Structure 1
Amino acid sequence: MADDKNQNKDAYTLILDAIDTGIYRPGDRLVESELAERFGVSRTPIREALQRLETQSLLTRDGRSMIVASLDHNQLAELYVVRSELEALAARLAARHATEEEINVLRDMNEADRALIGNPAALARANRRFHRQVHLASHNRYLFQQLDLVYRTMALMATTSLAAEGRSETAIKEHDQIVDAIAARDGEAAYAALKAHISKAFVTRLKSDAAAAEKG
């Protein structure tokens, strides 16, 4: 029974990672047999993983097939509202509870990320690591769980706002402001800085989506 549980977890994680890294993109059809062959997992845990992802609204059913879900404008707006509030709360709590070591890690991460400017895909992965570190520094397990769910849904975004011209440099400066506020133990400033950061990312995404729609 324990082996089955591990196998189920592996199948779920493998599929989720494939969506997150863009191997499977919104609209792509997921076929049990193909997934089982790709990941070297039997079809039963694949089927159970697909059902789990469907209950989380990461997959949608098209007849008997499963396809990777996509976010419409309203869903995207709703997601950013929730993300903004939860992430800002995490920053506020991090200002209260983060250890000096955690703050140093945040500084080191953001400094290292400067070398990734010009590589949106790599910077997007580093950006998730930075934000996750802020979530951990909040020292609130329930908030962390909710943010984990938000970030799973964000995997349905086909592009990153960091690909927009100038956004990478600006985002790293905004990260500096967030870390400075956390280090100063200023919860309200940390809350405001992270909320503004998410708002600017959302505006960038909306502009990018509008430009893409116009070209289409």
Structure 2
Amino acid sequence: MTDRKENKDAYEMIIKAIDLGVYGPGDRLVESELADRFGVSRTPVREALQRLEIESFLSRDGRSLIVASLDHTQLGELYSVRAELEGLAAYLAAQHAAPEEIRVLYDMIEKDREIVDDPKKLSRANRRFHNQLHLASHNRFLIKQLHQVHRTMALLASTTLSADGRGPMALDEHRAIVDAISAGDGAGARAALKKHLSYAFETRLKLDAGEVKSII
């Protein structure tokens, strides 16, 4: 019988590789190559791939498994769910975030301005900022759901922060969210967060349509 820990490790290592962009939408995942890469046997890799297929992180291309991509409808569904969940996180953060957590959020924004011209670094920093905001909600069940949503975001081939001018704008939007949280304005924080994601969704649609210029 395959060790449960080895199963979990294989699953986590593969999904982390997708999350970090090591494997992107359309990339083929080969059981033997993954086993060699991660230093585990093929059985837990096979079981991890089956689980990822069930969870729709992978799809079939003939007999091969490839990293899935999101179509137009799925993209809209993802942003809709993300906006509602993150809006709630911002609302709760305005009620429950400690002063130290708010200072950390402000500090992250200022540090991110130093890498505003590097979309890849800014994208990673953006994810850290949103994760910190989720934690500030102090709701473990919401945090768990948002973790899953953000993992699904890894199925998007590019970052909206690569769009010309989007980086500075996104950081200003982050500032507006944290300002509302700092003021204890839950409704304002929710509205600012949803406005932020609305702009991000609009930018993604324009990128996909080739209507805006990418800086990478």
- Normalised to the residue count of structure 2, the TM-score between the two structures is 0.94
In structure 1, give the amino acid aligned to 2:126: N
* Alignment partner, residue 214 of structure 2: none
Deviation >3 Å, runs of 4+: none
Note the C-alpha offset of 1:4: 2.3
For 1:157, give the aligned amino acid: L
Partner of 2:53: 54
Q: Secondary structure at the match of 1:67?
A: strand
Deviates more, 1:69-78 or 1:5-14: 5-14
Deviation larger for 163-172 or 53-62: 53-62
Instruction: For residue 155 of structure 1, give the secondary structure of its aligned residue in structure 2.
Output: helix
**1:69-84 paired onto structure 2 within 5 Å:** 69-84=68-83
Matches of 1:145 and 1:15 in 2, distance apart? 19
User: Equivalent residue for 1:20?
Assistant: 19
Residue 145 (structure 1) aligns with: 144
Equivalences for residues 1-216 of structure 1 within 5 A: 4-211=3-210
Give the drift of 1:57.
0.7
Question: 1: CA distance between counterparts of 2:110 and 2:12?
Answer: 29
What amino acid is the match of 1:56? E
Give structure 1 stretches of 5+ with no counterpart: none
Report the 3-state secondary structure (helix = DSSP H, G, I; strand = E; otherwise coil) of the residue aligned with 1:80: helix
Partners of 2:30 and 2:119 in 1: how far apart?
A: 30
Distance in 2 (CA, whole Å) between partners of 1:163 and 1:183 is 29
Deviations 1:153-206 (A, max 9, x none): 100000000000000000001000111100100000000000000000001111
Q: Indicate the SS of the match to 1:165.
A: coil
Q: Which moved more, 1:40-49 or 1:80-89?
A: 40-49
Distance in 2 separating the partners of 1:56 and 1:146: 14
Alpha-carbon distance in 1 for matches of 2:151, 2:172: 25
Query: Please, what TM-score do these two structures have when normalized by structure 1?
Result: 0.94
Once residues 67 and 121 of structure 1 are traced to their aligned partners in structure 2, the CA distance between those partners, rounded to angstroms, is: 23
Amino acid across the alignment from 2:68: A
Partners of 1:104 and 1:115 lie apart in 2 by 18
- Post-superposition Cα deviations, 1:76-109, rounded to whole Å, max 9, x if no partner, equal 0110000111111100000001111111111111
Segment drifting more, 45-54 vs 74-83:
45-54
**Structure 2 unmatched ranges of 5 or more:** 212-216
Offset, 1:6:
2.5
Kindly provide the amino acid, as one letter, of the partner of residue 65 in structure 1. Answer: S
| Residue identity (%) | 66
Question: How big is each residue's C-alpha offset from its partner over 1:22-66, in whole Å with a ceiling of 9 and x where there is no partner?
Answer: 221111111100101111111111111111211211011234321
Distance 1:82 1:66 in 2: 27
